[in-house]
Amino acid sequence: MAFDPFPENRAAPSDYRAAPTDDRVKTKPPVPVKIIVAGGFGVGKTTTVGAISEISPLTTEAEMTMESVGVDHPNRATTKTTTTIAMDFGCVTIDHTLKLYLFGTPGQSRFSFMWDDLVRGALGALVVVDTSRIDDCYPAVDYFERAGLPFVVGVNTFNGQQGYNLDEVRWALAVRDDVPVLQFDARFRGSVRDALLVVLDQALDKALRMRQT
């Protein structure tokens, strides 16, 4: 038989075997999922992203000046001297099929004009709450309710100090029953991971509901 110059027309060698299916799956890049970490001023959003990110997180911290005294009210227990002025960015691989890209919002309300751009394409959000300043997170809760984006309320415990229990926080925020309200510690990777997995669950639930309709 004449030599066929086109390799795709040549017969496969007799010992040819297709690579095992799961090897091929493993070589596919993980599906990117965008998650927002939002909440009021100084509640621990940057800390949350930094605790879990597998790359050095991209941060946009700027020194707080005297101008913000009396305007921004951080938790008294922190020694906070900087604030996020644009966004935080980090990522974490959940497994070979899924990678989370985390975007932290700025906390000061004067930067709220950036939220629409930051949130575009996101599948879910973690709203971080400091129970000593619960009302600071109302704008974030309102925003995600209006946007119809699945979200989870994560109460950052600030050294185990928590002014209210989770039922009281749920009542104060008046979130729907299907919105999880959980406790986590923004400083610890495992704790942040567990909170983000609940956000993922919520996003998946919504995707499945939309498929059925």
Ligand X SMILES: Nc1nc2c(ncn2[C@@H]2O[C@H](COP(=O)(O)OP(=O)(O)OP(=O)(O)O)[C@@H](O)[C@H]2O)c(=O)[nH]1
List contacts with ligand X (CB under 6 A). 41-47, 77-80, 83-84, 106-107, 156-159, 185-187
Q: Which is nearer to ligand X, 34 or 185 (CB)?
A: 185
Q: Which is nearer to ligand X, 187 or 206 (CB)?
A: 187
Report, in Å, the least distance between residue 25 CB and ligand X: 36
Report, in Å, the least distance between residue 174 CB and Mg ion: 26
Is residue 45 at the binding interface for Mg ion, with CB under 5 A as the rule?
yes
Dihedral of alpha carbons 199, 200, 202, 206, sign: positive
Binding residues with Mg ion: total (CB under 5 A): 3
Report, in Å, the least distance between residue 147 CB and ligand X: 20
Residue sitting closest to ligand X (CB): 107
Task: Encode 3-53 in three state secondary structure.
Answer: CCCCHHHCCCCCCCCCCCHHHHHHHCCCEEEEEEEEECCCCCHHHHHHHHC
Closest Cα to residue 41, out of 104, 112, 107, 86?
A: 107
Is residue 46 at the binding interface for Mg ion, with CB under 5 A as the rule?
yes
